[in-house]
Amino acid sequence: MSYHFWTEEELSLLIGGLKRYDFNWEEVQAKFFQNLSVAQLKNKFYSNKQFKQLANQPSTDYEKQQMRQLKQQNQQLKTQTQDNSDQQNQMQNNDLKDLINKLTELTK
């Protein structure tokens, strides 16, 4: 394997391709980098800390909006889960109270 000097355009293309194809390395290689191996793509990506940070950040307004929506949905699910848990606890408490009352009546 020979060394490949990466241009800024190629770096941007790699980041964009990885985001677009959900880190499907083979797909990115086939679409954009036929002259490089998947191993070379991965080596470039994993050898650069800033590169990894850029890949984890949403780059477009659409991606940022999608991230906000996912965070909101996640928060709603957490709230619903907590509400359901609270309701179940309340039902269990009511069931226990009913059971205690019945046992108390039986022991009189």
For residues 70-83, average pLDDT:
75
Residue 69 has phi, psi (to 5 degrees) of -65, -40
For residues 94-106, average pLDDT:
83
Q: What is the pLDDT of residues 42-69, one digit of tens each?
A: 998 888 776 666 666 665 666 666 666 6
Q: What is the SS3 assignment for 38-92?
A: HHHHHHHHHCCHHHHHHHHCCCCHHHHHHHHHHHHHHHHHHHHHHHHHHHHHHHH
- Domain parsing of the chain, residue ranges: 1-57, 59-108
pTM, full prediction: 0.47
What confidence category does residue 32 fall into, taking pLDDT thresholds of 50, 70 and 90? Answer: very high
For residues 25-29, average pLDDT:
96
